């Protein structure tokens, strides 16, 4: 995979916002809605600030946009570590998206209960009239980051979730940081129409090279598990992250 490389984090965020806006408008035109799964982390923050700015805010039909999350820390929604809170403060509060279109993971609940409820919510949204075998949800766009250990969403090295073939959402304890997370599984992520990785900073350079150029080792480099059969993966990175490519 050949990443798109931008000179600095601000330009990276601007181009990512324009890319996302284009997919959103196409999706709304073709299906009447746009489903987006958001990411946590420092790099998406700049993107969210762009989405809340005038250029993107005025171009999008917000009542047709539904916001979800790819993962969440098991904390209350007002906690400084909450992915929901970060997205809300940086752009959701600045755009006219209806509250009913915001589908957050209930990080304040017990992890296993939060995961089960989110999977139930996804089934109700994507398959409101389905029976026991609804297929699998297909997001229009899932936004992902890359940790310097190769993790993406809350799929960390060695996580059992990397081998989950039934569930769409799981709770996982991350021993490295001694905390619980709720995350979408590769099964669900790989069903998306578009997947956008955003990577910024020299600290990510070694890992980015490993993920893109080395042999397939998803247990060591979970981002490699993102391989949709019928979707498109786009990597947008800044020059520091791409310095070893």
Write down the domain spans for the chain. Answer: 4-238
Residue 32 region, left (φ>0) first, then alpha (ψ -120 to 50), else beta? left
Q: Say what the pLDDT of residue 132 is.
A: 64
Running DSSP on this structure, what letter comes out for residue 154?
T
End-to-end CA distance of the chain: 11
Q: Say what the pLDDT of residue 41 is.
A: 85
| Cα–Cα nearest to 34, from 79, 57, 68 | 68
pTM of the model: 0.96
Residue pLDDT, tens place only, 110-162: 999 999 999 999 999 999 987 666 789 999 999 999 999 999 999 999 999 99
The CATH T-level fold of domain 4-238 is Rossmann fold (3.40.50)
Is residue 238 within 8 A of residue 231, CB to CB? The reply is: no
Edge to edge, the sheet with strand 194-199 lists: 4-6, 232-238, 194-199, 141-144, 34-38, 65-69
The token pair at 141 is 């766009």
Residue pLDDT, tens place only, 14-26: 999 999 999 999 9
Is residue 217 within 8 A of residue 224, CB to CB? The reply is: yes
Dist. CA 87–CA 66, nearest whole Å? 13
């Amino acid at each position: 995979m050949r990443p798109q490389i931008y000179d600095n984090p601000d330009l990276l965020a601007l181009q990512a916002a324009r890319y996302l806006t284009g997919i959103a408008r196409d999706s709304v035109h073709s299906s009447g809605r746009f489903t987006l799964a958001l990411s946590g982390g420092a790099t998406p923050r700049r993107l969210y600030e762009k989405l809340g700015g005038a250029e993107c805010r005025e171009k999008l039909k917000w009542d047709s946009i539904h916001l979800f999350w790819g993962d969440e820390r098991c904390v209350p929604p007002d906690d400084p570590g909450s992915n929901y809170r970060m997205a809300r403060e940086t752009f959701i509060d600045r755009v006219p998206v209806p509250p009913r279109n915001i589908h957050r993971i209930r990080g304040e609940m017990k992890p296993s209960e939060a995961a089960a409820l989110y999977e139930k919510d996804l089934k109700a949204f994507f398959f409101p009239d389905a029976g026991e075998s609804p297929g699998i949800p297909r997001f229009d766009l899932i936004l992902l980051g890359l940790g310097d250990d190769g993790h993406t969403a809350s799929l960390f090295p060695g996580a059992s979730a990397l081998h989950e073939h039934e569930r769409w959402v799981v709770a996982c304890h991350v021993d490295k940081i001694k905390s619980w997370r709720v995350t979408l599984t590769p099964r669900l992520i790989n069903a998306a129409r578009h997947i956008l990785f955003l990577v910024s900073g020299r600290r990510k350079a070694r890992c980015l090279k490993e993920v893109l150029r080395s042999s397939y080792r998803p247990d060591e480099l979970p981002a490699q598990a993102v391989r949709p059969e019928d979707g498109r993966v786009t990597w947008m990175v800044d020059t520091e992250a791409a310095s070893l490519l």
